Amino acid sequence: MRVLIVEDDLQLGDGLLHGLRAAGFAADWVRDGTAADRSLLAESFSVVVLDLGLPGIDGRDLLQRLRARGDRTPVLVLTSRDAVEDRIAGLDGGADDYLVKPVAIAELAARLRALARRAAGEAAPILTIGALQIDPAAHSVCWHGTAVELGTREFAVLEELARNAGRVLSREQLESRLYEWDRALESNAIEVHVHHLRRKLAPELIRTIRGVGYLMPRAPGEV
């Protein structure tokens, strides 16, 4: 799951970035509304953590722009303890949730997972696709009822394919959703992860669509 953090406070932004990465999210951090706007136009994020008081385009204006152009990426607004009006304005302006600073990373992580789940239209926290079960909160995977150990990146690739089961994802789509842009990417990284996933789980779980990308069938492992 890829998160965009928009926060101009250096200490808080840094804390959120490292906290969310440690919790297993692919997180990017920008410090003003203009950079956030640019990032959201260029890249695809699962969810946005938005501070309202920002230099440049302020948080409320950014949210308004986002919704005006039909961008439905879930947004969680960060507000100060006393700023009740901010909270109301944020929610009325199209935010999906809010948290009052100071933020506990564990609570933020849980709420972000819930937002992403809701956005994907899933009620159950466990993702079930055929014989595959994925628990995004526990970062655990079961194949035909047996737990399988996966690396963080492998898990992220599998989760993304599972959330899009039945649809082809290009290598670029997988890369853009899973990796921070400040991290150097091996050109064959996705191929390597897919190779490991097939070996650890099952070859038929992920199909290569030559020249297009990868696809997880809607019901892998079921006859």
Give the interface with Ca ion as residue ranges (CB under 5 A): 8, 51, 53
Nearer to Ca ion, 31 or 193 (CB): 31
Could you tell me which of 74, 79, 39 has the C-alpha nearest to residue 59?
79
The single-letter code of the amino acid at 181 is W
- Minimum CB separation of residue 59 from Ca ion in Å reads 8
Closest approach, Cβ 52 to Ca ion, in A, equals: 7
Nearer Cβ to Ca ion (20/158): 20
Longest dimension (CA), the chain: 57
CB of 12 to Ca ion, least distance (A): 8
Contacts of residues 98-104 at CB distance under 8 Å and 24 or more positions apart, as own/partner, are 101/12, 103/12, 103/16, 103/78
Q: How far apart are CA 180 and CA 6, in angstroms?
A: 14
Q: Of 8 and 175, which CB lies nearer to Ca ion in the complex structure?
A: 8
Whichever of 93 and 220 has its CB closer to Ca ion, that residue is 93
What minimum distance in Å lies between the beta carbon of 32 and Ca ion?
A: 10
Q: How many CA atoms lie within 13 A of 22 on its CB side?
A: 9
